[in-house]
């Protein structure tokens, strides 16, 4: 049974990762890319945790904690940057990023 869970959950998570990567690469605006990369990080947390739960080891718990702590940094810093983009450059600030 655990093999079925591994393949089904792994397949769904891999497909989700591919779709999110597509949104990060293609995403029309910078905000879309930030959101997609944020969800990609959450997907990484879920993948690491699912790996631990399926194989029964606890070696990657520190990785989960660190990812959960620093996950906010990227999106918040980029969000601040987007917020100031219209005032610093009059046009096309987000498109060039």
Partner 1 sequence: MIADLVRASTTFVDSEPVATILDGIAAVLILLAAFLTLAAAVGLIRFPDALARLHAATKPQILGVILVVAAIALSVRSWVVLLLLIPVIVFQLLTAPISAHMVARAGYRAGDYDPDTLAVDELAPDVAAAGRSELPGGGLDDEPGTAQGQRGGS
**Contact set with partner 1 (CB under 8 A):** 1-2, 5, 8-10, 12-13, 15-17, 19-20, 22-23, 29-32, 34-36, 38-39, 42-43, 45-46, 49-50, 52-54, 56, 58, 61, 64-65, 68-69, 71-72, 75-76, 78-80, 82-83, 85-87, 90-92, 94-95
Asked if residues 51 and 60 have their Cβ atoms less than 8 Å apart, the reply is yes
Q: CA–CA separation, 86 vs 49, rounded Å? A: 40
**3-class secondary-structure state, position 55:** helix
Nearest approach in angstroms of CB 40 to partner 1 is 9
Nearest approach in angstroms of CB 65 to partner 1 is 6
Helices 30-55 and 61-88, axial angle in degrees (round to 10) = 180
């Amino acid at each position: 049974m655990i093999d079925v869970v591994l393949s089904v959950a792994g397949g769904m998570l891999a497909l989700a990762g591919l779709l999110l990567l597509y949104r990060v690469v293609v995403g029309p605006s910078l905000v879309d890319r930030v959101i997609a990369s944020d969800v990609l990080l959450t997907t990484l947390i879920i993948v690491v945790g699912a790996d631990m739960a399926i194989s029964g080891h606890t070696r990657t718990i520190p990785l989960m904690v660190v990812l959960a702590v620093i996950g906010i940094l990227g999106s918040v810093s980029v969000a601040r940057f987007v917020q100031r983009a219209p005032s610093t450059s009059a046009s096309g600030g987000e498109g060039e990023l």
